[in-house]
Structure 1
Amino acid sequence: MNEIVDINDSEIKEFISLKQSSLDEKYVVVESKNVFKKLFNTNTKIHKVFTTVENIEFINEHCSNIDFPIFTASNEIMKKIVGHKIHQGMMAVIDRPEFISFDEINGNVIVLNGLTSPENVGSIVRSCAAFNIDTLIIDEKTCSPFIRRCIRVSTGNLFNINVYKTSTLEEDLKILQSNGYTILSTANSPKAISLHKYDFPENCAVIIGSEGQGADKEILDLSDTILKIDIDEEVTSLNAAIAASIVLYQMKNSI
């Protein structure tokens, strides 16, 4: 172990520069004990860990192969690096998980069309894991699921989800249709079917649209079915992550 006493120490510079990594970053920063528990059960390469001394026992307990350097610091320095007061004093620099190829898409999938909120993306990833969906499709307008906040909100479940990134969502959905997939969108549309009345077939691709505008018009137009969640007429819509969870629950109990 190596103790860090200066926030400008070069050994921890990655924890500052990678706080908000983009889709093209090779490495990402992760934090929180729940995330570490999931991380230690994967083959993801861990490059270094930055933590308080109090968490060393936790690392020894949950990680069977400590082949990475560990740097320790006081709570005060950790607070400055993490960027907020409430934290668990644990961060790691890891290899960003690889995106899967289009040909690896399998089973029911969730498709994110223009979601920009890390909290919503992370929550949807967590719901996917909860309802046994292991593939997520994101378009180029969607927030990277690999940024620090998304991974934290997903409680590390992102490590159990396959992610396919596309710059040609409409074309890819048409190919999925030709391969037997049913394309489903959610929207408050006059032609939408109530979710509770719909029987989900196998191999569905469920579109979750952006927080403000919903799914793109061209995506709605190619959808086989548009679903709506029946809510009080005084409420115009639900949060994207909440809507996704409701659809996933209904799908799991329908198929």
Structure 2
Amino acid sequence: MQEIIEINDISDVRIKEFISLRKSLVDENQVVVESKNVFKKLFSTNIKIHKVFTTLEHLDFLKQNCKDIDFPIFTANNEVMKEIVGHKIHQGMLALIDKPKYINFEDIKGNVVVLNGLTSPENVGSIVRSCAAFNINTLIIDEKTCSPFIRRCIRVSTGNLFNIKVYKTNTLVSDLIKLQTHGYKVLTTANHENAISLHKFEFPKKSAIVIGSEGFGAQQEVIDLSDEILKIDISEEVTSLNAAIAASIVFFQMAKS
């Protein structure tokens, strides 16, 4: 096991990447991850871990769950950890890792979920978690969507992002049309007069499910090219559902088809 280095001062430059949530001191090709659930998923991947900062009580967890500890481990007591926005926030475990890379269009396989302008890290992280729950392995995001590789998204996904392939597009409409030429049906969720009730719809074998932005829904160009528009039947007293909740309902229904 690597040498364990005790930290007594949070201004120690060796742990600078872990200190501030608002002002990032992390290289753009790296990201900080946190919590036991995320670590468990991380240890099952080949992602490079550069360093870990944890309380002493979690050292046994590291030894038991990580087969190859080839990174420095920094430790601190609970009082020092609490100075970093609070012990409960990160559960006393943080790691600096290589940020996962986006895939190429040619690597897109199986059913896919398309995020069109989602800006909430909580929603994106929750949708990633639901993708993993319903065996959807590919996520497409446009240039307006929050990166799923940021710290908050990874935490909310409970590390399931490590099991999802992500393709980022700056030309969403063109790429959706390209998917259609590859046999995909583009299915957009929207409260639209021509929308089909979700519980009456039979999903095709190759589906690209578009989830629109929290405030405005899917952009009109995407709706216009869609093969079908789907709606979730809800009470008239409720205008719409949270994007992540709506996505989970759609994924569940698709898994039943």
SS in 1 for 2:90: coil
Q: Which amino acid aligns with 1:211?
A: E
Find the partner of 2:168 among 155, 161, 165. Answer: 165
Q: Which amino acid aligns with 1:187?
A: A
Q: Which amino acid aligns with 2:34?
A: E
| Aligned-residue offset at 1:82 | 4.5
What's the CA shift string for 1:147-172, capped at 9, x where partnerless?
A: 11110110100000000011110110
Q: Which amino acid aligns with 1:184?
A: L
Q: Tell me the distance in 2 between the aligned counterparts of 1:19 and 1:90.
A: 18
1:96 equivalent in alignment to 2:83: no
Please list every run of 5 or more consecutive structure 1 residues that lacks an aligned counterpart in the other structure: none
1:220 counterpart residue number:
223
1:193 counterpart residue number:
196
CA RMSD across the alignment? 1.6
Residues 16 and 140 of structure 1: is their aligned pair in 2 closer, same or farther, counting only changes over 3 Å? farther
Residues 130 and 160 of structure 1: is their aligned pair in 2 closer, same or farther, counting only changes over 3 Å? same
Q: Tell me the distance in 2 between the aligned counterparts of 1:46 and 1:19.
A: 22
What's the CA shift string for 1:50-73, capped at 9, x where partnerless?
A: 000000011011111101000001
Q: Tell me the distance in 2 between the aligned counterparts of 1:20 and 1:120.
A: 22
1:141 equivalent in alignment to 2:165: no
Find the partner of 1:13 among 11, 16, 35. Answer: 16
TM-score (norm 2): 0.95
SS in 2 for 1:81: coil
Q: Which amino acid aligns with 1:78?
A: M
1:232 equivalent in alignment to 2:250: no
1:73 equivalent in alignment to 2:76: yes
TM-score (norm 1): 0.96
SS in 2 for 1:175: helix
Find the partner of 2:90 among 87, 91, 99. Answer: 87
1:35 counterpart residue number:
38
Residues 223 and 188 of structure 1: is their aligned pair in 2 closer, same or farther, counting only changes over 3 Å? same
Please list every run of 5 or more consecutive structure 2 residues that lacks an aligned counterpart in the other structure: none
SS in 1 for 2:84: helix
Q: Which amino acid aligns with 2:242?
A: N
**Cα pair 1:20 1:148 within 8 Å, conserved:** no
Percent of pairs with identical residues: 73
2:212 counterpart residue number:
209
Q: Tell me the distance in 2 between the aligned counterparts of 1:195 and 1:20.
A: 43
What's the CA shift string for 1:90-122, capped at 9, x where partnerless?
A: 000000011100010011000000111111100
Residues 27 and 71 of structure 1: is their aligned pair in 2 closer, same or farther, counting only changes over 3 Å? same
**Cα pair 1:27 1:94 within 8 Å, conserved:** yes
| Aligned-residue offset at 1:86 | 3.9
Residues 140 and 16 of structure 1: is their aligned pair in 2 closer, same or farther, counting only changes over 3 Å? farther
**Cα pair 2:78 2:87 within 8 Å, conserved:** no
Matches of residues 108-123 of structure 1 in structure 2 within 5 Å?
A: 108-123=111-126
SS in 1 for 2:239: coil
**Cα pair 2:10 2:19 within 8 Å, conserved:** no
SS in 2 for 1:144: coil
| Aligned-residue offset at 1:81 | 2.2
SS in 2 for 1:238: coil
